[in-house]
C-alpha cells in the first residue's frame, strides 16, 4: 500500500471520515467514500466502510500473493464493508469486471483479517468470461468462446483454498465461435489425466495431424475440494465417483475430438503445481511413449 491521508471528525471513541480518500494498492487504489469507527479504544471496535477498487493489475496482485501470474485488471465496488469482533463482512455483492466478463462475490467473510492466519469464506459466480483472453493470459493454447460457472462454499485459510464446490463450463447461450487449438487440447488432457492415451495418438496420427484447431460444442470441469483432494468430473456429469471417466470436452463437426478424463481423485497441491508449471512453460505438450 502507498501513502494516503484522511480527514476525520473525532468525538470520544468515535471517528467519522469527513471526505472521500484514496489508498494506493500496488498500481491501483482503494477509494474510500465513507468510513466510520466506533469503540475506537476497545477490542469490540466496529468499522463501517463504503468504497470502490480502482483498476488493479492482476499480474502484480497474483505475484504478491505467490500465485501463478495472470494478466488483466481487477476493478470492483465494495457496497458495504463491516468489521466487528475481528470479523470482516461485505454486505451485498462484490462485483469485478475481468476477462471480458463479470465475477460476483457474495457472502464474503474474513475472520481475523489482520492476523497471519486469516480465514475466508465466500460464494463466487462467473459470468461470460472470454476464453480467448483467459487462455492467452494463461498461455495454455488458444480457446475461443465464453464460460460461466461458480465457486461456492469457498474456504481459504492463510489465503490458500481448503474447500469449495466449483463448476466451470461453456456458456451455451453465447453465439461466439468455439474452437480449441491442439496446444490447448494437450493442456486440458494433462489436467484430466489423459496424457499418453488415445487423445495424443489421435492428434499425431492419420488425417488429424493436419489440423491445428478443432470445433467443440462444450467444455467443462467440476471439482469438489476437501482434505486436499479434488474430486473431479465433467460439466455434463451429475455424479462424482472416483475411478469413473468423464467428459472434459465434447467435440463438434468433422473431424470431431472428445477429451475424456480419468483422474477422478487428484491431489490438490500437485494439481496446482502442475497447472502453474504449464502456465510458466507455456503449456506442456503430450508426448506418446
Range of the domain at 124: 118-281
Q: Is residue 208 part of a domain?
A: yes
Q: Is residue 241 part of a domain?
A: yes
Predicted pLDDT at 242: 45
Q: Is residue 287 part of a domain?
A: no
3-state secondary structure of 114: coil
SS3 sequence of 39-86: CCCCCCCEEEEEEEEEEEEHHHHHHHCCCCCCCCEEEEEEEEEEEECC
Residue with cell 485488471: 73
Q: Does residue 262 register a pLDDT over 80? A: no
DSSP state of 116: S
Q: Where are the beta strands (DSSP E) in 99-157?
A: 101-111, 119-130, 146-157
Q: Does residue 288 register a pLDDT over 50? A: no
Give percent above pLDDT 90 in the chain: 33
Predicted pLDDT at 36: 93
Residue with cell 461456492: 152
Q: Is residue 10 part of a domain?
A: no
> What pLDDT, in 10s, does the model give residues 61-87?
888 888 766 767 788 777 788 998 889
Predicted pLDDT at 205: 52
Predicted pLDDT at 284: 44
User: Domain tally for the chain?
Assistant: 1
Is the C-alpha dihedral spanning 210, 213, 217, 222 positive or negative? positive
Predicted pLDDT at 208: 55
Q: Is residue 264 part of a domain?
A: yes
Per-residue pLDDT band at 234 (split at 50, 70, 90)? confident
> What pLDDT, in 10s, does the model give residues 18-45?
999 999 999 999 999 999 999 888 878 8
Q: Is residue 92 part of a domain?
A: no
> What pLDDT, in 10s, does the model give residues 177-203?
999 888 788 777 766 554 444 455 555
Taking residue 18's Cβ as centre, other Cβ atoms within 10 Å add up to: 11
Q: Is residue 214 part of a domain?
A: yes
Range 208-213 average pLDDT: 64
Range 51-55 average pLDDT: 87
Q: Does residue 215 register a pLDDT over 50? A: yes
Per-residue pLDDT band at 270 (split at 50, 70, 90)? confident
Q: Is residue 160 part of a domain?
A: yes
The grid cell for 204 is: 499425431
Is the C-alpha dihedral spanning 179, 182, 184, 187 positive or negative? positive
Amino acid at each position: 500500500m502507498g501513502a494516503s491521508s484522511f480527514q476525520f471528525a473525532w468525538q470520544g471513541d468515535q471517528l467519522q471520515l469527513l471526505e472521500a480518500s484514496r489508498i494506493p494498492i500496488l498500481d491501483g487504489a482503494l477509494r474510500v467514500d465513507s468510513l466510520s469507527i466506533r469503540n475506537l479504544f476497545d477490542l469490540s471496535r466496529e468499522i463501517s466502510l463504503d468504497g470502490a477498487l480502482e483498476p488493479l493489475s492482476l499480474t502484480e496482485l497474483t505475484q504478491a500473493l505467490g500465485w501463478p501470474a495472470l494478466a488483466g485488471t481487477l476493478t470492483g465496488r465494495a457496497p458495504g464493508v463491516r468489521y466487528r469482533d475481528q470479523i470482516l463482512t461485505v454486505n451485498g455483492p462484490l462485483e469485478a469486471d475481468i476477462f471480458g466478463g463479470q465475477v460476483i462475490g457474495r457472502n464474503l467473510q474474513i475472520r481475523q483479517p489482520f492476523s497471519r492466519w486469516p480465514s475466508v469464506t465466500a460464494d463466487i459466480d462467473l459470468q461470460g468470461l472470454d476464453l480467448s483472453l483467459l487462455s492467452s493470459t494463461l498461455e495454455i493454447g488458444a480457446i475461443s468462446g465464453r464460460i460461466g460457472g461458480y465457486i461456492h462454499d469457498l474456504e481459504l485459510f492463510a489465503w490458500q483454498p481448503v474447500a469449495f464446490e466449483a463448476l466451470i463450463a461453456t456458456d451455451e447461450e453465447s453465439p461466439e465461435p468455439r474452437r480449441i487449438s491442439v496446444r490447448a487440447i494437450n493442456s486440458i488432457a494433462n489436467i484430466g489425466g489423459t496424457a499418453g492415451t488415445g487423445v495424443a495418438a489421435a492428434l499425431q496420427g492419420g488425417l488429424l495431424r493436419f489440423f491445428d484447431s478443432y470445433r467443440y460444442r462444450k467444455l467443462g470441469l467440476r471439482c469438489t475440494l476437501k482434505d486436499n483432494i479434488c474430486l473431479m468430473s465433467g460439466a455434463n456429469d451429475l455424479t462424482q465417483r472416483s475411478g469413473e471417466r468423464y467428459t472434459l470436452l465434447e467435440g463438434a463437426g468433422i473431424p470431431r475430438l472428445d477429451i475424456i478424463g480419468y483422474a477422478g481423485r487428484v491431489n490438490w497441491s500437485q494439481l496446482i503445481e502442475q497447472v502453474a508449471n504449464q502456465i510458466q512453460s507455456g503449456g506442456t505438450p503430450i508426448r506418446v511413449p
